[in-house]
Amino acid sequence: MFGKIRDSLRKTREALVERVSGIFSSSSEADDRTLESLEEALLAADVGVPTIQALLDHLPREARATGAGLSKALRERMMALWPPAPPAEGPPPRPWVHLLVGVNGTGKTTSIGKLAAQRTARGQKGLLAAGDTFRAAAVEQLQVWGERSGCEVIRQAAGADPAAVAFDAVQSAASRDLDFVLIDTAGRLQVKHNLMEELSKVHRVVSRALPGAPHQVTLVLDATTGQNGLSQARLFTEKVPLTDLILTKLDGTAKGGIALSVAAELHVPIRYVGVGEKVDDLVPFDPAEYVDGLLS
């Protein structure tokens, strides 16, 4: 598992280093020119303007004051963006109900498949709820992941009410004393208002099936959509109480800097990152590996 985040940041890192060669080696001071290229490079990596300002304001002064190189000072600034890790919790409720939301194509269904496989590999048993009832293909895709991970898929006919599917799955898992339920949802943003209503309803109905549920509500965000993804995320945070985030497709993008913006501007922790399409390509997010992977 180790090193996957770093590997996935290769393009982002190379683009940064190419634009500001030298900065990540030993330079202890920087002239205006270097700072300008650093700013441009961070912008190209899709770190947004407010976050860049927070990272670079008075940075040379700090680097001088601490006697540290610019790269070291920058690394420290980046590390300070992340919220502290939450305290360890007691045993999770059964079943653990996990709702995944996000725009079409961001990787919800794939991430559910990966999460399901990881849980079954740990000996857990659970259900997948096919809450994207809009397209038959979406249900089929989840079915494939269900077979791969050894999880039953709860589904209804195309066009069924997603909240009803989620309700069935949670009730069934509770009565069978299973470990988890992963709920897939649709993401058609063309009908923004309807989507948000639909998600609120799923949330509400699930809490009726099992008090306290859903225990985890994850926004799935596609890293390749950069700052666009960030505005999507804002939309969701306003409507659904998110607990955390999965940042997918970090592999293959030079815009991996978006994670910094997410940390600095959304205040929702990134729990996992997607680094490929295969079943083990979902890894717990590690800020230190991320920052090191970006800078060196």
Ligand X SMILES: Nc1nc2c(ncn2[C@@H]2O[C@H](COP(=O)(O)OP(=O)(O)O)[C@@H](O)[C@H]2O)c(=O)[nH]1
Going by DSSP bridges, is the β-strand pair 96-101/180-183 parallel, antiparallel, or unpaired? Answer: parallel
Residues 95 to 154 in contact with Mg ion, rule: CB under 5 A: 108-109, 138
Binding-residue pattern over the window 169 to 198 for ligand X, x denoting contact by CB under 6 A: ------------------x-----------
CB of 205 to ligand X, least distance (A): 21
Task: Report, in Å, the least distance between residue 122 CB and Mg ion.
Answer: 24
| Partner touching 252 among ligand X, Mg ion, none, CB below 5 to 8 Å by kind | ligand X
Q: Which is nearer to ligand X, 220 or 259 (CB)?
A: 220
284 beta partners: 272
DSSP 112-153: HHHHHHHHHHTT--EEEE----S-HHHHHHHHHHHHHHT-EE
Q: Which does 106 bind (CB under 5 to 8 A by kind): ligand X, Mg ion, none?
A: ligand X
Beta strands at 270-274 and 180-183: parallel, antiparallel or unpaired: unpaired
Answer with the entry of Mg ion, ligand X, none that 102 interacts with (C-beta below 5 to 8 A by kind).
ligand X
CB of 6 closer than 8 Å to CB of 291: no
When asked if residue 277 is in the footprint of ligand X (CB under 6 A), the reply is: yes
Beta strands 282-284 and 270-274, pairing class: antiparallel
Nearest to 183 by CA among 235, 13, 193, 210: 210
Our finding on whether 104 is near ligand X (CB under 6 A) is yes
Question: Which of Mg ion, ligand X, none does residue 13 bind (CB under 5 to 8 Å by kind)?
Answer: none
Minimum CB–partner distance for residue 223 and ligand X (Å) = 8
Among candidate residues 224, 228, 237, the one with its CA nearest the CA of residue 266: 237
Q: Among 108, 119, 203, 255, which residue sits at the site for ligand X (rule: CB under 6 A)?
A: 108
Cα(23)–Cα(27) distance, integer angstroms: 6
Q: Which is nearer to Mg ion, 37 or 143 (CB)?
A: 143
Among the residue ranges 72-80, 98-106, 172-180, 235-243, the one whose residues contact ligand X (CB under 6 A)? 98-106
224 is a contact residue toward Mg ion (CB under 5 A): no
249 binds, among Mg ion, ligand X, none (CB under 5 to 8 A by kind): ligand X
Tell me which of 12, 51, 71, 110 binds ligand X, using CB under 6 A. Answer: 110
Nearer to ligand X, 150 or 252 (CB): 252
Element containing residue 222 per DSSP (H, E)? strand 216-222
Q: Is 284 in the site for ligand X (CB under 6 A)?
A: no
Beta-bridged to residue 218, according to DSSP, are: 100, 244
Strand partners, 85: none
State which of residues 51, 106, 149, 225 lies at the interface with ligand X (CB under 6 A): 106
Dihedral angle over CA of 45, 15, 269, 210, nearest 10: 90
Q: Which residue do the tokens 């399901």 mark?
A: 116
- Range 16-24 contact pairs with CB under 8 angstroms and sequence separation of 24 or more: 16/41, 16/42, 16/45, 16/294, 16/295, 19/44, 23/70, 23/71, 24/71, 24/295, 24/296
Q: Which of ligand X, Mg ion, none does 46 bind, CB closer than 5 to 8 A by kind? A: none
**Could you list the residues that contact Mg ion (CB under 5 A)?**
108-109, 138
Residues that bind ligand X (CB under 6 A): 102, 104-110, 187, 220, 248-249, 251-252, 274-277, 281
